[in-house]
Amino acid sequence: MTPGRLIILVTLGFAFVLRLAISISIPNVHWPDEILQVTEPAHRIVFGTGIVTWEWLVGIRSWLLPGIFAGLMGIGRALGESDPVFINLPGELMMATLGCLPVLCAACWGRNLYGSAGALVAGIATACWTDLLYMSPHTLGEVVAADLLPLALYLGQPYRNQQQPTETRRFGSGFLLGLTFVVRFHLAPALLLAAIGLCGGKTRASWLTGAGAAIPILTLGLLDWATLGSPFQSIWLNIWYNVFQGVSQEYGTEPWWALAATIAVIWWPVLPILLVTGYCGARRMPVVGLVALAILVTHAAIPHKEYRFIYPAIPLFIAMAGVGTAAIMQHCREYLTAHLTVPWSAAIGSALWLVMSLDVSTRPFMNPAWTRDAGFLAAYAEINRLPQICAVATNHSVASPGNTWLRPGVRLYQINLVDIAAPRLVHAADSFNAIAASSKVHMTDPRFHRMGCHDGNLDEAGAVHLRICVWVRPGGCDPHAAPPPEPYWPDYFRRRMGLPRFDWGPTLSEAGP
């Protein structure tokens, strides 16, 4: 085995262990969609319970990712039928594995351009970078797309000694570009730019890339037709509601520069180094640089903005910056000092990335990210250890981790625990014998006694913004005493159905310890 391959294998092992360890030891929820749009519908397929949101009721979500996770949950059920830890473990293993694909591509780019030293520096950069470690476990379409896109670009680019990709690699590149589109169609402009840049106007290359991309895209069309009623409904109806009817803007709008400013704030201590190394890498990987820039620019034009939307550009940029670091280290060896050997330059470059990542990940700014909904997840873990629990109530179901992190068969209810009158609570509480809610809730039903409380949602100063406590009562559950959770309908649909505007009060009133 060559030194370059050994370095890549060791780096991949390091990346996998790091991602899986973070997924298991620091559980958090980046955004509710990772549960409500992926694992909850998967849980419904396998176990029959799961929160149903408006997106599934109107049919604007593809069943592709939930179907994959349903298969993984089926495997997990064989490992531990009643334990969500084991049920969700195959999905965590898959996300950790996918998270290693950008590391593999970065290390291979570095090796092709700068040998073993380049493989080590670029591989370590993507293996340890904070954003990639934090986002990797989250079951979002943006994260899966971010993992697939670097491999699509790597397969379609010239490799060692500028050899052109084989036909198999061209086809595989197209397949991955199509699969990236399927899991995150919002990347279409960047993916089209990637296909044009990789094919370079060559007719045969274009045909091979297009044929590969057609397979997952047509599969999505057939899947939507079979499950939603119309081909590609998860795309065109999604665009109709969120773009033309403005549903997405109900969640807030930001100026065009907001996403770039967010990245700058997160990376501020080391931003100058990242810009310099990223520029050096982009000069050697222009297609990768253009695709990353296209993702940022196209999402800057969309009024509703979230950090996760541009996440697919982050692994590409970090890979470029890692390669750029290797280029700078080579320049230092050749022109600045004769005493800087290849191993020492690789070690210095790798150490630089480890230090930068540690600095960013431990800044107070990252407190809210690492601890988001950690209290809820810990409370659910406590509930799962209680064998007599048959149903759980929360203040608002879409603000919780859902049935995904409850034992199969445990139902979920939604009760306004802040404002509900005591007699009504006593009647409704016959449906559940456990409650997971903020410690601010004053329990008026004497049958419930409070157990443990769990902190989460820390702010930049380390103060707790949401402490979730568990209340338990003896006895069983009457499933008819309280209604099941209602779907959250955006105001666009509430107006059409003659319903009042949605009241977030019950959820917001729980803010604070």
Token pair 């033309």 in the structure block, residue: 244
Under 8 Å CB-to-CB from 401, ≥6 apart: which residues? 29, 35, 373, 376, 377, 380
In the chain the first and final C-alpha atoms are separated, in Å, by: 56
β strands within 276-362, DSSP E: none
Query: Is the separation of the CB atoms in 282 and 85 below 8 Å?
Result: no
How far is 313 from 259, CA to CA, in rounded Å? 12
> Tokens 């570095």 — which residue?
110
pLDDT at residue number 160: 67
CB 132 within 8 A of CB 318: yes
Q: What is the DSSP string of 473-489?
A: -SS---TTSSPPPPP--
As a whole number of angstroms, the distance between CA 191 and CA 316 comes to 13
pLDDT at 511 over 50: no
The pTM of this model reads 0.95
Is residue 355 pLDDT above 90, yes or no?
yes
CB 311 within 8 A of CB 131: yes
Please write the tens of the pLDDT for every residue from 358-370: 999 999 989 999 9
Query: Crossing angle for the helix pair 188-199 and 286-300, nearest 10 degrees?
Result: 160
Which tens digits make up the pLDDT trace of 171-221?
999 999 999 999 999 999 999 999 999 998 899 999 999 999 999 999 999
Is pLDDT above 60 for 510? no
* 452 three-state secondary structure: strand
Instruction: Give the span between the Cα atoms of 460 and 306, in whole angstroms.
Output: 19
237-257 mean pLDDT: 94
Chain segment 158-181, per-residue pLDDT in tens:
876 667 889 999 999 999 999 999
